[in-house]
Structure 1
Amino acid sequence: MIFNYPNGKRYTPKENPAVNTKRHKNSVYSNRGMTLEEDLNVTNSYYLDRGIAVIHKKPTPVQIVNVDYPRRSAAVIKEAYFKQASTTDYNGVYKGKYIDFEAKETKFSTSFPLKNFHEHQITHMKSVVEQDGICFVILRFSTEEQVFLLEASHLLKYWERMKNGGRKSITKEEIKASGHHIPVGLHPRIDYIKVIDYLYRLS
């Protein structure tokens, strides 16, 4: 299926340079790339079911422009447009506080590439911070299966460093120093609310 941006430009998923270019390897990594999202969705369901927090994945608004009907009982979407640029992955409310965050992962083991983020996402996160919302990113180093929560204020600092000619990634040591490690558990899988409680004294 073909997706296009609002300006008509065709959407082409970017490949991670650390990923083997063989087709079956890319397929494996694509499936692994969904793991963080699935874990977070399960975590959010856990929070919702127990009345802890209401956090949902934001839907991506899509305009369908071409549909094929191979048979009367089925329809296949052949072409669609993203109505607008996406902001962050998740938002909701916890103890009266607005929560907004993005989730990203990488196969690199020593740094997190800033190119994984987009300018409009950074602008959105900056706006949330300015409105005193709780905004952060959840980063996973997939090779080691390590997950960190990094507050948006720190991400904005590293982004600004890059814009000023500095390094184009955040080192893992910087993430360890500025962020917070989240052990992967069972119930919930990625208990980021525990970190929020600690940071904002909400418990």
Structure 2
Amino acid sequence: MTIKYPNGKSFIQNDSNPPKIHNHNSINYAKRGMSLESEINDSNQYYLQNNIAVIHKKPTPIRIVSVDYPKRSAAKIKEAYFQQASTTDYNGVYNGKYIDFDAKETKNKTSFPLSNFHEHQIEHMRKCLAQGGICFAIIKFTLDNTIFVLDASILIDYWDKQNIINERKSIPKNDLFKKAIQIDYQINPIIPYLDGVDILINQLKKEK
């Protein structure tokens, strides 16, 4: 199936000392072949079933322009367009706070390319922060399954600086170890990213 942006361009999937979260029930899910999206969806289901948070993946509205009917009982979408530019992947409510975040993976070993994000996504995060929302990115390095929760304000700072001459267009992994919150896999939920969100909330309280 071909999916295109509102401007007609085809959609191409991008490659896509703060505390480190440890858990005594930690486990490596690397060999299960799950994508970051699947891991987050499973974690969100755990949070929902245990009345911890209500967070869902945002649906992306599309306009279907071509459909094939190989059988009367089945239809196959051949071509479709995004009706509008997507913002972030997930949002919801946790502990009385509005939560909004995006999830990205990279095969890079030493840095996270900022090209994984789009301008409209960064602007959406900027507006969420201005309204007092808890906004962040979950970043996964797939080669070693290292996962970080990165405050959107830090991501935005790197984004803004990339337009300055000689400024790099990626976030060094070593910087993420220093400025983000590292999350370890565990049994339930698979990715306990709300532990990182608790730290972000406490940091905001201290700043006030």
Q: Identify the residue that residue 190 of structure 2 maps to in structure 1.
A: 189
- Determine the C-alpha separation between the residues in 2 that align with 1:135 and 1:13: 22
Q: Identify the residue that residue 26 of structure 1 maps to in structure 2.
A: none
Q: CA offsets per residue over residues 66-121 of structure 1, 9 Å max, x none?
A: 11112211111111010001000100001110000000011111110000111110
- Determine the C-alpha separation between the residues in 1 that align with 2:173 and 2:62: 35
TM-score (norm 2): 0.85
- What are structure 1's unaligned runs of at least 5 residues? 17-30
3-state DSSP class of the match of 1:201?
Answer: helix
TM-score (norm 1): 0.87
* Matched-pair identity in %: 54
Q: Identify the residue that residue 161 of structure 2 maps to in structure 1.
A: 161
- Determine the C-alpha separation between the residues in 1 that align with 2:201 and 2:104: 23
3-state DSSP class of the match of 2:162?
Answer: helix
Q: Identify the residue that residue 124 of structure 2 maps to in structure 1.
A: 124
Residue 192 (structure 2) pairs with residue 180 (structure 1) = no
User: Which stretches of structure 1, 4 residues or more, deviate above 6 A after TM superposition?
Assistant: none
- Determine the C-alpha separation between the residues in 1 that align with 2:78 and 2:109: 37
Report 1 or 2 for greater relative contact order, CA contacts < 8 Å, sequence distance ≥ 6: 2
Q: CA offsets per residue over residues 4-49 of structure 1, 9 Å max, x none?
A: 2112233344567xxxxxxxxxxxxxx96x6111110010000000
- Determine the C-alpha separation between the residues in 2 that align with 1:13 and 1:117: 11
3-state DSSP class of the match of 1:163?
Answer: coil
- Determine the C-alpha separation between the residues in 1 that align with 2:111 and 2:11: 26
Q: Identify the residue that residue 201 of structure 1 maps to in structure 2.
A: 202
Residue correspondence of structure 1 range 88-167 to structure 2 within 5 A? 88-165=88-165, 166-167=167-168
Residue correspondence of structure 1 range 5-44 to structure 2 within 5 A? 5-14=5-14, 35-44=35-44
